[in-house]
Every structure is written in structure tokens, then in C-alpha cells.
Amino acid sequence: MKAIAANFTLGRRNDRVVLRPADGTEEITVRLAWVRPVQGRGGEISFLDEHKHEVALLPGLHCLDPVSRRIAEDELAKRYFIPRIVRVVRTDAHFGNRYWTVVTEIGDRRFVIKDPFRSITWVTRDHMIIRDTLGNRYEINPFSGLDPFSQNEVMKII
């Protein structure tokens, strides 16, 4: 892989990330996003301004200097934190809504999804990502690793 150096550095101003162009022009407050968030983590990174316009695109974190890379890694980890479901306690369906009570690696959670076809993404046959009505994401990986009761609870409402 050919190393491409970024023509900017990243810094922090309060709780925001700023992109500082190498040519000395004005710094820009940015948000970082994986270009392919479900399957492309570790690949291309998009830097978006406050209007969600892309101001930079890099093929990977390897293009950043060590300080900028650490800032990018921290921001991406926060943005794409997805708790892993380790047990499904209960699921229920009422009037088109699917209610979940689960145990994640960070504790118990309750959430709702509306349309399983839009709310559940199968990354592989054994890995799913669930987006609830509030935009929170959860992951079941591997699905085959869930106990039989949990697997049945999931299958009855998807």
C-alpha cells in the first residue's frame, strides 16, 4: 500500500475536531465518517464540514501523522461505538413495532424498531446490526453464538 500523506493535520478545539490545512488557510470544524460504515471500517475516511459537505477524503488512517491519527481513531471509535448484544431477554411485537429487551456487553437495554427490513442489516449470515427508532445501533455477532432462547426470540420478530 502506497503511503499518501494528508495535506492537513487534525487538532481539537474544545470538544470538536478541526482540520488544519497545510497551506495555512483557515481551519475547518469537521466530523469523521467511514465511507462504508458497516463493512468498510478501517478503509476510506470522509471529513465532513458542519453542512455535511465532504472537505477531504483519505484512503485510510495510515495517511495521517501520529497525533492526527490518534484524534481520528478516538472520534471514529465514539461515532461508531456499537454495543454487542450477548443475550435477548424478550422480544414482542405490537402494532408494527418490535420491542427488544436485551443484555449487551455494557449492560441491559430496551429499545424499539419499526421495520425489520430497514432496521436490521445482515453484514454476514452470522452478523447483524440493528438500528432502533432513536438511531442507536446494536450488534449481534455472531448470531450463532447466542443461546437458543435468544436466537428464537430474534427470529420470531424479524
DSSP string, 93-114: EETTEEEEEEEETTEEEEEEES
Looking at residue 49, its pLDDT comes to: 95
What pTM, to 2 d.p., does this model score? 0.67
Domain map (residue ranges) of the chain: 8-79, 85-155
Kindly indicate the confidence band of residue 4, based on its pLDDT and cuts at 50, 70 and 90. Answer: low
Please give the Cα distance from 143 to 131 (Å, whole number): 16
Asked whether 60 and 36 are in contact (CB, 8 A), the reply is no
Asked whether 42 and 62 are in contact (CB, 8 A), the reply is no
Condensed to tens digits (0 to 9), the pLDDT of residues 91-135 reads 999 999 999 999 999 999 999 999 999 999 998 999 999 999 998
Asked whether 130 and 140 are in contact (CB, 8 A), the reply is yes
Condensed to tens digits (0 to 9), the pLDDT of residues 20-40 reads 999 989 999 999 998 876 565
Condensed to tens digits (0 to 9), the pLDDT of residues 37-76 reads 656 567 899 999 999 999 999 999 999 999 999 999 999 9
